[in-house]
Structure 1
Amino acid sequence: MQKIKTAAQTFIDAEVLMPSVRQKKSSMLQRFFLLTVVLCLISAFPYNAIAVNYFDGSRAKEGFYFLTYTYACYADETTDKNGKVANKDFGLFSAQEILRLCYYTPDFVATVVVPFGYTKISSLDQDSFGLGDLSIGAGYFLPVKQVDILPMLFVKFPTGRYDKEKTANIGSNQYDIAPMIFMHKTMGSFSIDAAVKYYFRLENNDTDVAPGDELRLEGLIGYNITEKFKSGPAVNWMKSRDRKQDGSRISGSAREKLSLGADCYYRFPWLSVTLTYLYDIHTENSPKGHFVQLKTVYRF
């Protein structure tokens, strides 16, 4: 925010004002700029920020599967629309425990996702804890032999705790409709997992703000170090449209994020475990930080 404050102060100093009036006007300008940044950041964390993992798009034996995702993300910096640092002390911390139940047939997949979490923004002295936004999804494997391709459709419901007077919220108070395509290919000791996701993000009725639709591309390469252990690099990219207020587009509010990291996977006789780490190397109108996730999969 230092660059924004300097620009505002330059404008104010150019006016011939009494000190008390100058201070009041500076405070109003700073609040306006802070509100603009915060509105972008509210949109930067849609529900259940689950990155693609090994075998997400692969066929599985028929039956029920129980998955858990334990993740934490921390971001001290926020960036403006040009990718430059806007705030070095934002202090965003978010942790979630996501419970997911899946049912597989040879071709059909159905799933329910229930998140619980905690979010804190230190610079605003705000936090939120509780149930997040529930989502359901279904998909069907395409009849292709060379590669597993799984188109799915997810719908997110605004079940999470939300307070329009706060910036730190577990829930988003708006629906998402998200078509996705997952792909998996094994080639000897190597594997490729990828996902294309598009989020139609609908309007928040309390604020009349639509966060802006998002396109997400996620990829992961794996190498079997042993029969049960594999690891490899990961890349995630997200690009959003501008936000809308009362149906009108807000120019310059689009978000972008490029993250690099790695996955490690280990298969036990009764479950599999995946550890994911991602670091944001470039962001626009978004927090910039670290993401760590531990995923487990149990088959009934």
Structure 2
Amino acid sequence: MIKNKIFFGILCALSTSAFAVENGNSNYANGAENFMSGVVPPPGIHGMIYTNHYNADRLNDYKGNNLNVPNFEVKSTAIVSRLVWVTDKQFFGGNLVFETLIPLVDLKVQSLDMSQKQQGLGDITIGSALGFHHSPNLHSAIGFDIFLPTGEYNKNDLANLGLNRTTIEPMYTISYLKENALSADVKLGYLFNGKNKDTNYSNGDQFHLDYSIGKNYKNMTFGIGGYYSTQINNDKINNEEIKNSKTSGFAIGPSFKYQGKKWFTTIKWEKDLIAENKSEGNSLWIKTALPF
């Protein structure tokens, strides 16, 4: 699950990133969320598994033009385990929720005459939220995630499993679903990125949203989904701003959900249509939610 340049991985987070250059790296895995993103399950302990495969053979500049880097390719597969504890404690009408996401990553990056493969633990995410059930059809959650620099990192490597920085993300997600009718989901997040102390490099803040729109048919939903992301300010190195270092992206593709009695699975394929200061490729996402 790697995508903008180096991997991290989580759910409410996970990262789809991969490249040695730091500008544009995102701790959040853009496109990770799909149908049911705003529906917090009932009190108890719940598990989710996210599986992502990402592939790209193009790296773009700040205008979205192909840099034509010889032999450039990124391939990554990630499995992210998400553990969610929904308590029966309520604040402002919402249930208090705690979560952690643990990514395992298989990443290969090649460029010019260089190639490197890494496997192992990515950056772990912890978070808390309040989950609201406004009606049988409308649900939402508000909270924050903290991305921890637990993944292996070496500033001289081409491929890294972690970003070597701490990031804090306030987030809000909302879902509307109705049997035999419309389904719509949006997750919003804002990333306050810390500094990579090994390189003295700081990424600018980033805004992102995941979206899905579909039609429900009994226990199945068919529709589309993807993500939009944009960087708010330029990166800095040694406290000096780097001109034209902002990253933007937009992706779209078909989405499907199957709803069981106490579980559901979503499948999504998405294609990058806008990719500025980042790799351009496509992703396959599979998410399964199960109660313990």
Report TM bin, short chain: 0.7 to 0.9
Residue correspondences, number = 263
Task: Tell me the residue number matched to 1:216.
Answer: 208
Once the two structures are superposed, the pairs formed by residues 1-300 of structure 1 within 5 Å of their partners are 40=21, 43-49=24-30, 51-87=32-68, 89-105=71-87, 107-123=95-111, 124-141=114-131, 144-145=134-135, 147-188=138-179, 189-225=181-217, 227-240=218-231, 241-269=233-261, 271-300=263-292
TM-score between the two structures when normalised by the length of structure 2? 0.84
Amino acid in structure 2 at the alignment position of 1:238: S
Which structure's CA Rg is the greater one?
Answer: 1
Q: Is the 1:71–1:294 contact (alpha carbons within 8 Å) kept by the matching residues of 2? A: yes
Q: How many Å separate the matches in 2 of 1:278 and 1:211?
A: 25
| Structure 1 portions without partners, runs of 5+ | 1-36
Q: Hey, what's the Cα distance between the residues in 2 that align with 1:144 and 1:272?
A: 21
- The corresponding residue for 2:14 is none
Larger % of strand: which? 2
Percent of aligned pairs with the same amino acid: 25
Stretches of structure 2 that go unaligned for 5 or more consecutive residues are 1-17, 89-94
Give the match's secondary structure for 1:141. Answer: strand
**Aligned residue number for residue 6 of structure 2:** none
Q: Distance in 2 between matches of 1:45 and 1:126?
A: 20
Q: CA deviation at 1:60?
A: 2.0
What secondary structure, in the 3-state scheme, does the structure 2 residue paired with 1:292 have?
strand
Query: Separation in 2 of the partners of 1:49 and 1:216?
Result: 7
Q: Report how far residue 148 of structure 1 moved.
A: 1.9
Distance 1:183 1:169 in 2: 33
What is the aligned partner in structure 1 of residue 9 from structure 2?
none
Opposite residue 169 of structure 1, the aligned amino acid is N
The higher relative CO (CA closer than 8 Å, separation ≥ 6) is in 2
Instruction: Name the SS for the 1:87 alignment partner.
Output: coil
One-letter amino acid of the counterpart of residue 298, structure 1: L
Instruction: Give the Å deviation of 1:252.
Output: 0.5
Report SS of the residue matched to 2:128.
strand
* 1:86 alignment partner, SS class: coil
Further displaced range: 280-289 or 97-106 = 97-106
The SS at the match of 2:195 is: coil
What amino acid is the match of 1:291?
Answer: S
Summarize the Cα distance change of 1:221–1:280 in structure 2 as closer, same or farther, 3 Å threshold. same
Alpha-carbon separation, structure 2, partners of 1:143 and 1:173: 37
TM-score scaled by length of structure 1: 0.82
Match of 1:4? none
CA contact (8 A) 1:72 1:291 kept: yes
